[in-house]
Copies of this chain bind each other. A is one copy, B any other.
């Protein structure tokens, strides 16, 4: 106690030194890095007005044109920004509904991120800025002052694929302090995505935090693997290979043969590598009734196959905007061929599945074919829960789908 008192003055002193240090360090670095930007006026962008109209600003005195492209616009639409005082280009858009959007600025034909907005997300290999309009439509995925679960990036051995791989694992608030066991949702991303997609673009961890805090979802572990069977990890964290590191190019996940091989092997790797890993290392209720699988787009198709071919393992199944029912060229859906007995022996699936959930965006080309498949399922007395959300093939639909799906699980 005496030591504490004696040192109080010195702590204050050293605090001030650290403060000076911080200020000087910051200004030094800024000078070093932004020599060419010394005269930049202070830019705030985006500015969300109380009526939810939004103003975007960028300092670009030497640009020929600056254009705004946002996820709320139609395909091919852009909004021109106007050059104003001191080289600052601006545009104000009409009020947006509370929700999460992305946008880019297009500076002399090059897609860039808004330099004044540090909140960005990666979709495959492309970055854009995040814009969240607060309000009812954002409450599901906002970071609120509620207990937060942990998100871990975990590397594991996948003998089925011959790779060391990375996945994201969400453990709910209270997991670390309890001794209890938890149910598990395996949550799969879409084509081109990776193990980061559901937490970054999908904000799955914050959706879970919020629904758990409200008592709407049961605390659960959510496992978000990388669904590209030939990829060890997101392109940002791939192991260095002597050659590929020379270009820093992402592994070519669009390579057809690799995708075919990987897709064949993927169900095995989930069932034989990932589930055992999770059940060995986490406090999990390891039975069918406490295992769910769901995914979006490509991950929806993977969930369909893995879930329905392993009804002894999964009692809960979700598909968000899957293209296997059609709406994408080349898709030919034959339920009975794909899952033998799905129609002719639907009672088997009804008995084993507590939930077969299907959702799709109402502006997605998959909308009609999905409705058709659902009606075929129903005609054959297969129990499915079907719903749709406004939107195309996009994250707003998948965040809403997840928010609607989670409260139905493990009840």
Contacts and interface: CB of A to CB of B under 8 A. Distances in A.
A7 B368 CA distance: 27
B143 A305 contact: no
B340 A10 contact: yes
Given A61-B109, A108-B63, A152-B151, A17 B330 contact: yes
A324 B339 CA distance: 68
Given A151-B152, A340-B6, A16 B235 contact: no
A263 B191 contact: no
Contacts of A149: 155
Most buried by B among A11, A65, A75, A127: A11
A41 interface: no
B155 A148 contact: yes
A166 B148 contact: yes
A34 B340 CA distance: 41
B111 A142 contact: no
Contacts of A32: 75-76
A33 interface: yes
A393 B246 contact: no
A248 B75 contact: no
A179 interface: no
Interface stretch (A18-26, A350-358, A396-404): A18-26
Interface in A216-266: 233, 235-240, 242, 245-250, 254, 256, 259-260, 263-264
B119 A281 contact: no
A287 to B, nearest CB: 20
A349 to B, nearest CB: 14
Contacts of A155: 147-150, 173
Given A21-B330, A305-B14, A131 B61 contact: no
Given A107-B110, A239-B143, A240-B144, A48 B246 contact: yes
Contacts of A190: 25
Interface string A64-79: 1101010000011010
Nearest to A117: B248
B63 A254 contact: no
Cβ-closest 8 pairs across A and B: A20-B330, A22-B191, A148-B155, A21-B323, A152-B152, A118-B125, A15-B263, A24-B328
Interface of A: 3, 6-7, 10-26, 28-29, 31-37, 44, 46-50, 58-65, 67, 69, 75-76, 78, 106-113, 115, 117-120, 122, 124-127, 130-132, 134, 138, 142-145, 147-155, 164, 166, 173, 176-177, 190-192, 233, 235-240, 242, 245-250, 254, 256, 259-260, 263-264, 267, 281, 297-298, 301-302, 304-305, 309, 322-324, 328-333, 337-340, 393
25 contacts: A7-B309, A14-B305, A17-B301, A18-B324, A21-B298, A21-B328, A22-B192, A22-B298, A26-B124, A29-B192, A29-B393, A32-B75, A33-B69, A46-B247, A107-B112, A108-B108, A110-B112, A111-B115, A113-B113, A118-B126, A118-B127, A119-B248, A127-B127, A144-B240, A147-B155
